[in-house]
Amino acid sequence: MAKAYEQTNFAGKNMKRRTAIKLGALLSGALAIPTLMSNTLPPTETNKKQPNCGYVKINGDKFELYIFSDGHMLLENPQPIFAPQINSTTFTTELKRLYLGNKGIDLAINIMVIKINNKTILIDSGMGNHFGESQGWLLENLQNAGINANSITDILITHAHRDHIGGLITKSNTIVYPNAQYHIAKAEYEFWTSENPDFSKSKLTDEQKKGTIAFPQKILNIIKEKLNTFTPGDTLFSFINTELAEGHTPGHTIFTISSEGKSIKNIVDTFHSPLLITNPEWGIEFDINFEQGIKTRMQILEDCYINKRLVMSSHLPWPGLGYIDKREKYYWVPLYYSTPTEIKL
Ligand SMILES: [Zn+2]
């Protein structure tokens, strides 16, 4: 169970650095409902036809929460990124056994947005359009849900990998969310902005390391004037609990959003595929500290299983919502829901 939430007004700690935020700029009318109705059902509020535009909406008692798609990343040859020390036949047999296909591993990019009172909070920004057309869908999907980029008040950065912060800037290096304040774990910020980020416990090649470092450094520099740091364990905005999930990166932070006794835990990059839920010890080279990544994965699996948590993940199959169950091994149970866009928490 996550520790009891402190009633810390995180935003208040940083008031002197905040700029005035113009709120209430949400677009209305973008969710126009087509007049075409089912032939068999009368047109009620609940069966009106709605477009599924790359998001699902979860209605909590105190907040609205959305999961948006920023696209996906196909790893055609998932080994050795996944399971570098596992025999390739064992690896492909396991993919097959878990019905995960045999054409590489396709990672969804799922983004959480929370609307509460006068705040619209984005957790990460996706890849943006820097690396091809299979990513960078977030902005359009936000608009389809009636959320304008100008209305985003805060952005929580889980960690500074490019598929989580690339969407903060355009290709010409301008800021995408002009009214937002940014929040990142202090350890994460310090790691990427240090002179020599320590990759000694990673399995990446020197070439891969170079590519991994330059992009986050550029983005963190562009947004630094509006960047606030927190320490995992802090409670943000009185209802978002932060927790360090070390290993993937030094400050990789996961978030539990709670209201009226219900909660959803955003476990971010703890698992890049259901394969790693069933085989957490196989590991992934994306983790900067490979062995710590395995330990953290095991802890989070047990916590989510024992506490029957509803979890959301950045890269599990769209929309990344579900539960962890266990029968000898852990396995992924996608959230059961029947309507395309609406879920009641
Ligand atoms: Zn990621």
Q: For 247-292, how does the pLDDT look when each residue is reduced to its tens digit (9 = 90+)?
A: 999 999 999 999 888 899 999 999 999 999 999 999 999 999 999 9
* Higher-confidence position of 30 and 266: 266
On the question of pLDDT at 53 being above 80, the answer is: no
* Higher-confidence position of 19 and 68: 68
State the distance from the centre of ligand 1 to the C-alpha of 297, rounded, in angstroms: 15
Q: Is the Cβ–Cβ distance between 202 and 285 less than 8 Å? A: yes
Please give the pLDDT value at position 41.
Answer: 42
Any idea what DSSP says for residue 125? -
Average pLDDT over residues 121-146: 94
State the distance from the centre of ligand 1 to the C-alpha of 80, rounded, in angstroms: 17
Residue in the structure block whose two tokens are 């890049």: 272
Kindly state the percentage of the chain with pLDDT values over 70. Answer: 85
State the distance from the centre of ligand 1 to the C-alpha of 165, rounded, in angstroms: 10
Where does the pLDDT of residue 31 fall: very low under 50, low under 70, confident under 90, or very high at 90 and above?
very low
Here the tokens at position 341 are: 């866009």
State the distance from the centre of ligand 1 to the C-alpha of 318, rounded, in angstroms: 14
Any idea what DSSP says for residue 265? E
On the question of pLDDT at 172 being above 50, the answer is: yes
State the distance from the centre of ligand 1 to the C-alpha of 185, rounded, in angstroms: 16
In Å, how far are 22, 154, 181, 184 from 226, measured between CA atoms? 15, 10, 5, 11
Lowest mean pLDDT among 37-41, 249-253, 302-306: 37-41
Average of per-residue pLDDT values in the chain: 85
Residue in the structure block whose two tokens are 């202090």: 186
Please give the pLDDT value at position 207.
Answer: 79
**How far apart, in whole angstroms, are the C-alpha atoms of residue 341 and residue 315?**
19
On the question of pLDDT at 213 being above 70, the answer is: yes
Kindly state the percentage of the chain with pLDDT values over 90. Answer: 71
State the distance from the centre of ligand 1 to the C-alpha of 127, rounded, in angstroms: 9
Average pLDDT over residues 18-30: 26
Residues measured by CB to lie within 5 Å of ligand 1, the ion: 163, 269
Please give the pLDDT value at position 335.
Answer: 95
Residue in the structure block whose two tokens are 């920004």: 125
Please give the pLDDT value at position 339.
Answer: 77
Residue in the structure block whose two tokens are 């047109």: 43
State the distance from the centre of ligand 1 to the C-alpha of 164, rounded, in angstroms: 6
On the question of pLDDT at 7 being above 80, the answer is: no
Where does the pLDDT of residue 33 fall: very low under 50, low under 70, confident under 90, or very high at 90 and above?
very low
Q: What is the pTM of this model?
A: 0.84
**How far apart, in whole angstroms, are the C-alpha atoms of residue 296 and residue 251?**
12
Residue in the structure block whose two tokens are 């090649």: 205
Lowest mean pLDDT among 53-62, 108-117, 187-196: 53-62
Any idea what DSSP says for residue 335? P
Q: Which amino acid is at 342?
A: E
Most confident of 4-18, 35-49, 112-126, 198-212: 112-126
For residue 28, count other CB atoms closer than 10 A to its CB.
Answer: 7
Please give the pLDDT value at position 21.
Answer: 27
Please give the pLDDT value at position 204.
Answer: 79
Average pLDDT over residues 90-103: 93
Q: Mind giving me the DSSP string for 271-319?
A: -SSHHHHH-GGG-BTT-SSHHHHHHHHHHHHHHHHHTT--EEESSSSTT
State the distance from the centre of ligand 1 to the C-alpha of 291, rounded, in angstroms: 18
What is the per-residue pLDDT across 315-328, written as a single tens digit (0 to 9) for each?
Answer: 999 999 999 999 99
β-strand 227-230 against 235-236: which pairing, if any?
unpaired
